[in-house]
Amino acid sequence: MSVTFKDDVHRILKFVANCNGRFEDSKCDIRESPLGGLGVFAKTDIAEGESILTLNKSSIFSASNSSIANLLCDSSIDGMLALNIAFIYETTVFRNSSHWYPFLRTIRIRDDEGHLNLPPSFWHADAKRLLKGTSFDTLFDSLTPEEEIMEGFEIAVDLAHKWNDEFGLEIPKGFLDVSEENHEEDYNLKLEKFISVAYTLSSRGFEIDAYHETALVPIADLFNHHVSDPDLKFVSLYDVCDKCGEPGMCKHLIAEEYLEAENLDKNMPKVASMETRVIDEDLIKSLENDLEKEHSNVTANTEDDDGGIENPDECVDLVLKNDVAQGQEIFNSYGELSNVFLLARYGFTVPENQYDIVHLGPDFMKILKKEEKYQEKVKWWSQVGHGLFSAWYAQMRQEDEEDEDGQAKSDNLSDDIESEVEEESEEEEEEGDDSLESWLSQLYIDSSGEPSPSTWALANLLTLTAVQWESLFSKKTTPHISDSIVNEEKLPFLAKKDNPHSKKLLSKLLKEKQLPCIKGDNSSKITSATKSMLQNARTLVQSEHNILDRCLKRLS
Ligand SMILES: C[S@@+](CC[C@H](N)C(=O)[O-])C[C@H]1O[C@@H](n2cnc3c(N)ncnc32)[C@H](O)[C@@H]1O
C-alpha cells in the first residue's frame, strides 16, 4: 500500500547523511522489491549481530520532534493523532523550511495509480463486499469506519482554526482548510485525505520510546515484512523521561523525586531528634548542576568519534538477528500478525499467512437460531458453560505443561485457551459482561486447519444425546439452566476431538460457510475497487478457503 518511489532514494540517503546517521550502504542496496515498492537487499554476505542502521533519535520524525511539538503538547494531543497533525503541518505549512521535509516528502499518501491509500473500513460499500463474511468482517468488525479517526479529523480542523486565529499560523492547505461553500463535499474529501495520512503513517511508524511514542524512521521504514523469518530487530530504549526524552536522570525526574520526598515527609510522624534536610529549589538546582557536569564529562569522553552518534541510549538501531546472504532481501518483522491486521494497519496481505484464522461465530449462530433443539444447550453454554470449560481447559493445559517440564511454569501459560481466558477477562472488563461476543469470538479454525478448543467443545455439546446432556449435571434446574450444578468430571468429554457426530456437524458447517467470490469476472463489476484492494481481498479470502479445506481434510 504505502510504497516509496525509486527516485526518492537519494533524498532519503542524503537526509540520513545530513543527520549523521550511519547506514551500511557498502553492504546494503535499496531497490525495487518483487513484493512491491522498495526493499533493502544485501550487497555482500552480512553476519548476524551487525548493525546496519544507526540513527540518533533526534533524526527520527515524531510529534515531539516536530515544528508544532509545543502546540500539540499544550492542546494535550498525543499518540497517532499528534503524529498525523504534525506530518500535515510539516509537509504543507513548513515545507521547504522544515528540517524533515526532504524525508517526509518521500512518504506518499497515494498509491502508484494515484488513489488515496484507504483502509477497508473506508472503502466504498461495493468494495467492502470483497471482504464480507471473512474474519476481517465478522470477528474484528474491521469494515466499520472507526469513530476515532473521524473525531481526530474534527479535532485537527478545530485546532488549525484556533492556532490561525490566535497567532496566525497558516491552515494546512488541501488538508484542514474545509471550505464553507461546498462544505459537505469538501469536508468528505479532506476527511478522506486525513484518513489516508493516518493509514499511511500507521504502515510506516515505529514505536520508539515513552517520549517519541510512534515515529517515522528514515531507511528503517524501507524494510519489508516477513511473516516467519525476519532478519532484523529494531532496538530502541523505551524507558526514557516522557517529558524530555532523556534516557537517564533529568530535571523532571528530580522534580518528581522531590515531590515524592515531600509527600513522604508530610506523611511521616515527626521525630524530634531526627535531623532532616529540607529538599528545596536550591537542592534541585545543585542536583541539576551535578547532573549537567556528569553529562558533559560523559559526552566529552564519547562524542563524535562516529560523526554525532554518541550515546547508544539516544539512538535507534537495526541489528541483524541472523546471517544474510548476498543478494537476499533483508526483512523486518512488523509483528506476529494475521492478514486481518496486516491489511487493517499496513495495507497488505501475505499468501499462506500462518497467523490467519477462520471465524465460525456467525456460522454457529445460523444453525443455533434455526434449530429449536439447541436452545437450552446454547443458553447454558453462553451463560455458564463456556467460562467453566475455558477455566478447566486452561488448568488442564497448565498441569500438562508442568508434568512435561517437571516444574511449574505458571508465568508461561501457553497459547489457545489460556489466552482466550485472558482476552475474555480483558474484554469483559472493557465492555461489561458481553458474554455473547466473547464466546462467539472463540469459535474459529487456526491456520493449520485445527478447530479451536471452544469450537470442539460447542460441537461436542450440541451433539450430546438427551441422556448425556442430563448426565452433565449433578443437579439440573430448568428453566434456570444457569443455576444447574455441573458434574465437573464430565467436562473432559467436551474437549474430545474424535467424536464422529461433532465432526459431521463441523463438516456441514464448513461446507455451508459463505465467503466472497472474487473471480475475474465478478470483481470487474466492483468499480470502486483498485488493483491493490482486489489483490489483498483475494489473498485474504483464499487464505480462509485454504484453512477450510485443511480442516475438512482433518475431519474426514
Ligand atoms: C514500511 S513500508 C516498507 C517499504 C515499502 N515497500 C516502500 O516501498 O516504502 C510498508 C509497506 O511495504 C509494503 N510491504 C511490506 N512488506 C510486504 C510484504 N511482505 N508483502 C507485500 N507488501 C509488503 C506494503 O505496501 C506496506 O504498506
Averaged pLDDT, 24-52: 96
67, 178: one domain: yes
Residue 552 forms part of a structural domain? no
Residue 159 forms part of a structural domain? yes
Pocket, ligand 1, Cβ cutoff 6 A: 1-4, 33, 35-39, 203-204, 221-222, 224-225, 346-348, 350
282, 424: one domain: no
Residue 415 forms part of a structural domain? yes
370, 501: one domain: yes
**Best CA proximity match to 57, nearest among 258, 186, 217, 181:** 217
269, 398: one domain: no
Residue 13 forms part of a structural domain? no
Work out how many domains the chain is built from and give that number.
Answer: 3
Residue 404 forms part of a structural domain? yes
Averaged pLDDT, 57-68: 96
Pocket test of ligand 1: the residue of 9, 110, 225, 332 to mutate, having most ligand atoms within 8 Å of its CB, is 225
Averaged pLDDT, 306-321: 82
Whole-complex ipTM: 0.99
Which residues are bridge partners to 61 per DSSP? 216
- pLDDT tens-digit series, residues 209-241: 999 999 999 999 999 999 999 999 999 999 999
Can you give the pLDDT at residue 273?
46
Q: How much distance in Å is there from the Cα of 3 to the middle of ligand 1?
A: 6
Q: How much distance in Å is there from the Cα of 1 to the middle of ligand 1?
A: 7
Decide if pLDDT at 474 tops 50.
Answer: yes
Can you give the pLDDT at residue 11?
95
- pLDDT tens-digit series, residues 492-514: 999 999 999 999 999 999 999 99
Single residue among 287, 302, 317 that ends a domain in this structure:
302
Decide if pLDDT at 426 tops 90.
Answer: no
66, 159: one domain: yes
Single residue among 262, 281, 302 that ends a domain in this structure:
302
Packing angle between helix 531-555 and helix 500-512, nearest 10 degrees?
Answer: 160
Can you give the pLDDT at residue 480?
82
Cβ–Cβ under 8 Å, residues 57 and 212: yes
* R_g (Cα) of the chain, nearest Å: 28
- pLDDT tens-digit series, residues 401-412: 888 777 654 454
Q: Distances from the Cα of 150 to the Cαs of 6, 121, 147, 305, 553, in angstroms?
A: 33, 12, 5, 48, 45
Label each residue of 160-227 as H, E or C: HHHHHHHHCCCCCCCCCCCCCCCHHHHHHHHHHHHHHHHHHHHCCEEEEECCCEEEECCCHHHCCECC
492, 419: one domain: yes
Residue 448 forms part of a structural domain? yes
Averaged pLDDT, 32-44: 95
Measured between alpha carbons, how far is 475 from 427 in angstroms, rounded to an integer?
31
Can you give the pLDDT at residue 226?
97
Least confident of 253-257, 358-362, 491-495: 253-257
Measured between alpha carbons, how far is 21 from 247 in angstroms, rounded to an integer?
19
Decide if pLDDT at 307 tops 50.
Answer: no
Residue 336's Cβ-count burial label (10 Å; 0-12, 13-18, 19+) is: exposed
67, 197: one domain: yes
Averaged pLDDT, 15-26: 96
Q: How much distance in Å is there from the Cα of 457 to the middle of ligand 1?
A: 39
Q: Count other Cβ atoms within 10 Å, centred on residue 391.
A: 13
Decide if pLDDT at 304 tops 70.
Answer: no
- Look at ligand 1, atom 21, and give the residue with the nearest C-alpha: 35
**Domain assignment of residue 481, given as a range:** 361-512
Which residues are bridge partners to 330 per DSSP? 40
**Per the structure block, which three cell numbers stand in for 2?**
504505502
Residue 309 forms part of a structural domain? no
Averaged pLDDT, 59-67: 97
Average pLDDT score, the chain: 88
Residue 293 forms part of a structural domain? yes
**Per the structure block, which three cell numbers stand in for 536?**
489483498
**Upstream peptide bond of 479 is cis (omega within 30 degrees of 0):** yes
384, 496: one domain: yes
Averaged pLDDT, 40-69: 97
Can you give the pLDDT at residue 285?
65
- More confident call, 406 vs 453: 453
280, 366: one domain: no
Give the phi and the psi of residue 145 in degrees, each rounded to 5: -55, 135
Decide if pLDDT at 143 tops 80.
Answer: yes
369, 506: one domain: yes
Q: How much distance in Å is there from the Cα of 121 to the middle of ligand 1?
A: 20
The beta-strand segments (E) located in 264-422 are 315-320, 329-330, 358-359
Decide if pLDDT at 302 tops 50.
Answer: no
Averaged pLDDT, 247-269: 80
481, 376: one domain: yes
